[in-house]
Amino acid sequence: MSAPAAPLPEAYADARQRDVANHLGMWAFLATEILFFGGLFLAYFIYRSTYPAAFAAGSRTLNFWRGTFNTAVLLGSSLSMALGDAYIKQGRRRALQVCLATTAVLGAVFLAVKASEYHEMYAKHLLPGRGFEAGAAPGLQLFVLLYFTMTGLHAFHMLVGLGLMAWLLRQNRRGRFTPARHAPIEMFGLYWHFVDCVWVFLYPLLYLIPR
């Protein structure tokens, strides 16, 4: 049995004002995330222009096919998340459950592939620090540091997303979401699409352009 519509808080004149406030708050949060990642992207461009040969060499140490596969996986997860948002607005809770589960599985696949790439770089002694590969080109360690920082923060955001998705799955099983009560799905969808968009920028920067 579906849960009744949530009562409108006194702070809002109507449901439309509440929805606008929800979107404004979420976009404000995403704006701070854009500034955060934007600083890292700026640092990457500055150091890449300073050490072009080292950054090209660093890009060649990455597995192009793993990066390409992970890009396809994340694009698929964005599609399933968008479909889930559309389905709950139609009252299709079971379809939403399938879409959320699919999105979670694809997110877990992405992280597993990324973990295998991290392990490969560890085996090649391409971790920033005293054990870094001897004789490496000047600036290569800087590329590796930026790679782990940017992809590691992205992976952390994905882990947070998977935790939130587990909560959404549980709430949906309890019938908490309806066509009139779907804000958590919509707001989480914006977050997940943002995380995917960050990777869409990271993929060419790390795996394509420097080569």
Q: What is the largest CA-CA distance in the chain?
A: 66
**Residue 55 falls inside a structural domain:** yes
For residue 4, is it within any domain?
Answer: no
6 in a domain, yes or no? no
Three-state SS sequence of 90-106: CCCHHHHHHHHHHHHHH
Range of the domain at 66: 15-208
Which residues, other chains included, contact 157 with Cβ-Cβ below 8 Å and sequence gap of 6+? Answer: 33, 195, 198
Q: Is residue 46 part of a domain?
A: yes
> Which residues have a Cβ under 8 Å from the Cβ of 182 and sit 6 or more positions away?
85, 88, 89
Classify residue 41: in a domain, yes or no.
yes
* Ranges in the chain, pLDDT < 50: 1-3
Percentage of the chain modeled with pLDDT above 70: 86
Q: Is residue 10 part of a domain?
A: no
**How far is residue 182's CA from residue 82's CA, in Å, rounded to a whole number?**
13
Chain segment 152-165, per-residue pLDDT in tens:
999 999 999 999 99
Is residue 45 in a domain?
A: yes
Tell me if the pTM is above 0.75: yes
CATH code, domain with 44 = 1.20.120.80
5 in any annotated domain: no
- Tally the domains of the chain: 1
For residue range 53-90, list pLDDT tens digits in order. Answer: 889 988 988 999 999 999 999 999 999 999 999 999 99
